[in-house]
Amino acid sequence: MTQKFDVVVIGAGPGGYVAAIKAAQLGLSTACIEKYTDKEGKLALGGTCLNVGCIPSKALLDSSWKFHEAQDGFAIHGINHAGVTMDVPAMVGRKANIVKGLTSGVATLFKANGVSSIEGHGKLLAGKKVEVTKPDGSVEIIEAENVILAPGSRPIDIPPAPVDQNVIVDSTGALEFQSVPKRLGVIGAGVIGLELGSVWSRLGAEVTVLEALDTFLMAADTAVSKEALKTLTKQGLDIKLGARVTGSKVNGDEVVVNYTDAKGEQKITFDKLIVAVGRRPVTTDLLAADCGVTLDERGFVHVDDHCATTVPGVYAIGDVVRGMMLAHKASEEGIMVVERIKGHKAQMNYDLIPSVIYTHPEIAWVGKTEQALKAEGVEVNVGTFPFAASGRAMAANDTGGFVKVIADAKTDRVLGVHVIGPSAAELVQQGAIGMEFGTSAEDLGMMVFSHPTLSEALHEAALAVNGGAIHIANRKKR
């Protein structure tokens, strides 16, 4: 007998599993299809984010930063020690345990909310039917009133550096090193490349980042990207801009990489090479030819502003559709879609999706950059506040970076918040909450912030927009 559900979700990543849980909470019979399995061959929910992305990378970032602090940052606090070492397999093992706990947690949430978890590969057929190919090769057809496509993304492969997951690895392989490579190469100076490069640099690797673009962190505010480049370079990352990789050759346990830069043809040898040039949507065998759903010119599922595809009752969310590839974007799209299935007029503000890079210092922003606003002809007032003037940051010996608030010069409405420094992700989220409700810089400046906190830096930057900062000298307006 064919199973029928109100909602069938293909993919159990941060978009898919959240959508499935929300649908069940709203009283819809729901199934979620996932094929990913862990090293033990067991179904592992949570997608890239929980298994090989956001969560495991943050576990390694935190562990490696604690090691760095123990080596170089404790003495100033009066903590004397000697002989601190890093047990890399133990660090990686801790990461694996965190992942296992969270993925099993999703399974528990499915059970608690009444979501039917189906193991296998899901494929959309015509008429909102879904074909599920089980691990044993058997095939089942499921009928649905609504289908949500949430298959996620995978690392982009590049011909000059074919991944073997041994010497040349992608972001997944870079999470599994059992020892610190002496010479580590990273292709790509984006979020993934900088985070993974930072992990292994802190543990002692000589890290070289090869970035094809001449501009560093092009999506970030110029002031932030300049500060980030300076800081990360000081930390030991050799970031080569305008370096386009043209080829590579693995010789035993090392790889020789060819690249071109302003000086011409170059060669460099690494013990490990991480390819981190971005991700692409997973659409392989996702759509039957007659299902009616179309892809755009870049291979993403075509959707409208509310994630509806060209087929009524079929939606797509997360990395497989336009926009930034971010777990929190996928989750909120999933909730929006389910709410709309229930007849609610839910929508999503794509202008206020925060971006975060979990290096140290953290880098985060929400809204528009100063350069983008000026290019649009918008007159702005800008306020900045350095963490070097923050009592809380000084107490923690973590004073690098600043908070930058950008407001419309005519209305004072906050248009962007950009942070590089301690707890940047948390501070930017405060800005995002205010911006969602149309806050002005004056509004932020009039709020009471607890003392001493890092949040006071946001308060002072907002005050500085209109020349009212207290704990730094204000710039004279022209």
Contact 160, 246 (CB under 8 A): yes
Measuring CA to CA, how many Å separate 329 from each of 36, 321, 350?
Answer: 21, 11, 8
d(CA 370, CA 27): 45
Residues comprising the chain, all counted: 478
Task: Give Cα 276 distance to the centre of its chain.
Answer: 13
184 conformational bin, left if phi > 0, alpha if psi -120 to 50, beta if neither:
beta
HSE at residue 260, side-chain half, CA atoms within 13 A, is: 4
Q: Which two tokens stand for residue 202?
A: 């802190």
What is the distance between the alpha carbons of residues 63 and 198, in angstroms, rounded to a whole number? 11
The C-alpha atoms of residue 277 and residue 35 are separated, in whole angstroms, by: 25
Residue among 196, 184, 180 at smallest CA distance from 276: 196
Angle, vertex CA 462, rays to CA 459 and CA 464, nearest 5: 110
H helices within 42-190, ranges in order? 47-52, 54-72, 88-113
Retrieve residue 318's tokens: 């997360």
The residue among 218, 191, 195, 224 whose CA lies nearest residue 417 is: 224
Structure tokens at 289: 């030819």
The string of DSSP codes covering 326-339 is: -HHHHHHHHHHHHH
Angle between helices 456-465 and 424-436 (to 10 degrees): 50
Q: Which residue has the tokens 């992305």?
A: 53
Residues 288 and 147: their CA atoms lie apart, in Å, by 14
Encoding tokens for residue 145? 């009133």
- Active site members: 451
By DSSP bridging, strand 402-408 and strand 380-386 are antiparallel
The answer to whether 380 and 408 are in contact (CB under 8 A) is yes
